[in-house]
A and B are shown apart, each in its own frame.
Chain A
Amino acid sequence: MRAARRWTRPKAEARSAVNTGQIISGAGHIGLIGWMMFGGWFTSRPLDFQVTEVTAVSYEEYAAIVSGAAVQDDAAEIAPPAPLEPEVPQDAPDLTSAADAAPETPMPDAAPETAPDPVPQPPAPLAEAEVSDEPPTMEQPAQDMAALVPDSALRPQQRPAERVAPQQVDPPEPDTAVDDVVREEAVPDEAAETPREEAEATAPEAAATEIVTEAEQPAPSGSVRPKARPNRPAPTPEPETQTAEAAPAPEPAPTPAPEPEPAPEPAPSADSGGIEDALAAALGAASETPAPAAPSAPAGPPLTSGEKDGMRIAVQNCWNVGSLSSDALATTVTVAFEMSQDAKPIDSTIRMIDSTGGSSGAAKQAYEAARRAIIRCGARGFALPVEKYASWRNVELTFNPENMRIK
């Protein structure tokens, strides 16, 4: 009994103390919430705003400004341009048509139309149309005009894949959603012991390993190629092409343009990764000196090469350098950040700790692209073992775009 009494008294005292603590805590929280709601905690601070008074003038205004003339308010009221005072005395050239009537050099086809004209006529005053801000007024094409739209067979073909990635990815199935991970469609099965949720199939977006220009693609079949470069000052009809079009002769099979293909990049093989994993595991088991862990994190074995590669691949799949400038593509940045135990980057800790090869502006652009990659692909957490948290709690990623410059 005494023993029981000894145990019940402290319990009652403890219960009283807990109640008091709860009351104090509750009052404190209520006060804190009230202060946050009514004390202006959520009032957003106005963002910096740079007001730049940039006046966008119309073309006629701009043209008048750069020429030193007065600004015209209405393009339609522009007076006929006064002839400019010739800045250079034109006594040397003789522009009379008599001297040029029989040039020794071949003349273009259009020349005979102008040559008989004894006095060169100045072009019609087109200033109104030139400086007008009105929508473009296109002339109606004559009946004998050539087609406005080029032959569809010669139109630029859509690139097979707009996305360039380290690994080639075939186009996904039509009903497949684009995602970073491959997932088969899941259909609810009521008969199954463990019901699974319905999910649509996902697959990565189609990608090529490098940019393929139009010149690097095989030549289109059936194309009649010119025999020689046309002489632009003297354009002449091309009877041979007409003949070829009228009676297309069987051409030899087009040979793909033998463009020098860059040597294939050594792709990381799965076998080597497995060997490295096994080697790392063996080395870890054979080692007598355990890896030092972070003071507040649980110690664990080091990351294997496969685990490191997994994170590296995850980040590089989100590292989009397509919109970077040439300077930024010549800049290597090292970005450090911390991760929570669910393997998600803590956004506020992301910072650039080093940059080489470019200006500060280029480093800023390169860092922003790297930060986007970390945040985007880390949003769902990287595939890292939690028991090795000490090994990946702090991360430093060096983004080296050297290989991407020659894609």
Chain B
Amino acid sequence: MMARFLAPRYLAPRFLALLALCTSVLGAPAVAQDGPLRLEITEGVIEPMPFAVPTFVPGGGTSGQVAQDISSLIAADLSGTGLFREIPASAHISRVTSFSSPVQFADWKAVNAQALVTGAVETDASGRLVVQFRVWDVFSGQELGNGQQFVGTAAGWRRIAHKIADQVYSRITGEGGYFDSRVVYVSETGPKDQRAKRLAIMDYDGANVSYLTDSSSLVLAPRFSPTGDRILYTSYESGFPRIYVLDVASVNRRSLPAQQGTMSFAPRFAPNGQTVVYSVESGGNTDIYTMDINSGAAQRLTSAPSIETAPSFSPDGSQIVFESDRTGRNQLYVMSAGGGEARRISNGEGNYGTPVWSPRGDLIAFTKQSKSRFHIGVMRTDGSEERLLTASFLDEGPTWAPNGRVIMFTRETQGAAGQAGLYSVDITGRNLRAVPTGGGASDPSWSPLQ
């Protein structure tokens, strides 16, 4: 009882001493600021960066329309990423009349342009376009990189604009662009129960559509080679699903060797461009194989009684991610490129499928079906940090942009009149937008940068 009363009396001096010690320790930095003011910034904002692309200066016999077209396409490329926001020409204060004139940064600061692209277009003696450009950091008044020029045919002005946009994108973000690339996909026409499908190829933004096959036979899942010169796809041309390789330049194709009575499908190139990984269905069982595209020598990688399909190589060619229902539900697994034991990487609810390894090697995109909805998502290669980016009646078949920043996929609307189309989304889940294809489209495959 006595101790209970004495305790506060004894503790009080100790508490005051401790308080004084804490006061002296904590107070010292606030009082004696002996150096610069040091602050840590851990929060920021995520918003499109305002930029301006004043119309490139035409010269040397080049029409102003060409300069306008190139400038507009560069701005459209950048704006389409969702990372940049164009400041319209109507808001510009400065007029760039000479490519070599000093930039009036104050005018561009006034309209809050943080990046500025200036350029000029000329036509040389041989009739080729010569396009010069510079990229500026407006608020620091410094040039990002050096001026550069591209030369090309007048008909290739779109590619020149895409290449410049790739350069601008790379200099600001620090990662490669994806504008000078193409997409091969399955063009779909007709009603849902009699849909005609054929391979089509287009620029990444939907321009320059052309067709690689006719619609006499069903085609599925085209996949670009690492160099973009060949395409693997599955066709029912023989009445049976079989893998074909198509040469983009000549549109010639040939089928890969296959055992009679089996179905081979879901092909993808290995990073070396000489090996194909694919699935073979035989006797109700589906397993994964690789084949040397030149010799035709095949190697079986899995031998489970379950369905293993949709294989995709890692960028270094050392691993393969695929889907399997060996546990009763479709899940994602990773195994060595030579086969062997696989480890499961997906652990969420629902079914996972169509995994695709990012060209940067850091993420795996996939389709997920959960609670009667389909999602496109990404996860780390070990299955961690899963994030669903989309949700709809039917989303599936992701493909990566060459820089690993954007995913394109198929979205199909419901009902008998449902239509498949292509959509793209940033890996953060922002900037979800439809890709213009002029008609039904599915199964996209993004080419490497050209």
Contact = CB atoms under 8 A, between A and B. Distances in A.
A47 B37 contact: no
Nearest to B372: A225
Given A55-B152, A92-B296, A126-B210, A323 B195 contact: no
Nearest to A337: B36
Contact of A81 (B44, B216, B236, B250): B250
Contact of A376 (B139, B239, B372): B139
Contact of A55 (B27, B83, B151, B240): B151
A284 B30 contact: yes
Contacts of B411: 150, 154
B47 A322 contact: yes
B153 A58 contact: yes
A398 B82 CA distance: 27
B340 to A, nearest CB: 26
Contacts of A312: 39-41
Interface stretch (A13-21, A33-41, A133-141): A133-141
Interface string B10-49: 0000000000000100110011111111111111111111
A88 B295 CA distance: 6
B92 to A, nearest CB: 19
B442 to A, nearest CB: 9
B174 A362 contact: yes
Nearest to B385: A406
A175 B194 CA distance: 53
Interface in A210-244: 211-217, 219, 223-227, 229-230, 232-233, 235-238, 241-242
B418 interface: yes
A52 interface: yes
6 contacts: A51-B148, A52-B148, A66-B227, A120-B217, A287-B31, A368-B140
B34 A292 contact: yes
Contacts of B248: 63, 66-67, 130
A386 interface: no
Contacts of A124: 214
Given A135-B208, A142-B189, A283-B26, A92 B258 contact: yes
Given A92-B296, A109-B194, A214-B389, A207 B45 contact: yes
Contacts of B194: 109-110
Contacts of A51: 147-149
Interface string B169-196: 0001111000000000000011111111
B423 A52 contact: no
B94 interface: no
Interface in B79-114: 82-84, 100, 102, 109, 114
B327 interface: no
A325 B173 contact: yes
Contacts of A201: none
A321 interface: yes
Given A100-B239, A235-B195, A404 B46 contact: yes
B151 to A, nearest CB: 5
A291 interface: yes
B151 A54 contact: yes
Contact of B197 (A62, A95, A110): A110
Interface string A310-343: 0110011111111111111000000010000000
A136 B296 contact: no
A159 B37 CA distance: 38
Given A214-B392, A398-B40, 15 more contacts: A83-B252, A86-B254, A93-B259, A101-B239, A109-B194, A135-B207, A137-B209, A146-B190, A214-B429, A224-B393, A225-B373, A229-B351, A284-B27, A291-B33, A319-B43
Interface stretch (B1-9, B60-68, B154-162, B313-321): B154-162
Interface string B408-450: 0001011111110101010011101110001110000000001
B205 to A, nearest CB: 11
Given A123-B216, A291-B31, A302-B31, A81 B388 contact: no
Interface residues of B, number: 152
A307 B132 CA distance: 47
Interface in B349-372: 351, 360, 362, 369, 371-372
Nearest to A315: B41
A interface, over-half SS: loop
Contacts of B197: 110
Interface in A121-173: 121, 123-127, 129-133, 135-139, 141-142, 144-151, 154-156, 159, 162-166
Contacts of A305: 30
A105 B172 CA distance: 53
B331 to A, nearest CB: 14
Given A100-B238, A372-B137, A213 B388 contact: yes
Contacts of B261: 99, 104
A111 interface: yes
Nearest to A115: B239
A238 B151 contact: no
Nearest to A97: B239
A261 interface: no
A105 B32 contact: no
Given A126-B211, A396-B38, A319 B44 contact: yes
B45 A319 contact: yes
Interface stretch (A3-11, A22-30, A184-192, A387-395): A387-395
A92 to B, nearest CB: 5
Contact of A56 (B152, B198, B250): B152
B351 A111 contact: no
B72 interface: no
Nearest to A103: B240
Contacts of A110: 194-197, 217-218, 236
Given A110-B218, A283-B30, A129 B257 contact: no
A59 B208 contact: yes
Given A44-B102, A110-B217, A284-B31, A323 B438 contact: no
B163 interface: yes
Contact of A283 (B31, B175, B251): B31
Contact of B213 (A67, A126, A216, A227): A126
B202 interface: yes
The 4 closest A-B pairs by CB, nearest first: A213-B429, A56-B152, A215-B388, A63-B249
A404 B43 CA distance: 7
A373 B41 CA distance: 11
Contacts of A62: 450
B212 A347 contact: no
A310 B219 CA distance: 61
B255 interface: yes
A82 interface: yes
B40 A129 contact: no
A58 B23 CA distance: 73
Contacts of B239: 97, 100-101, 103, 107, 111, 114-115
A320 B47 contact: yes
A114 B218 contact: yes
Best-buried of A49, A115, A139 by chain B (most CB within 10 Å): A49
A131 B210 contact: yes
B49 A323 contact: yes
A368 B242 CA distance: 52
B375 interface: yes
B52 interface: no
Interface string B230-258: 00000011111110000111111111111
A400 interface: yes
B56 interface: no
B345 interface: no
A129 B143 contact: no
A403 interface: yes
B432 A165 contact: no
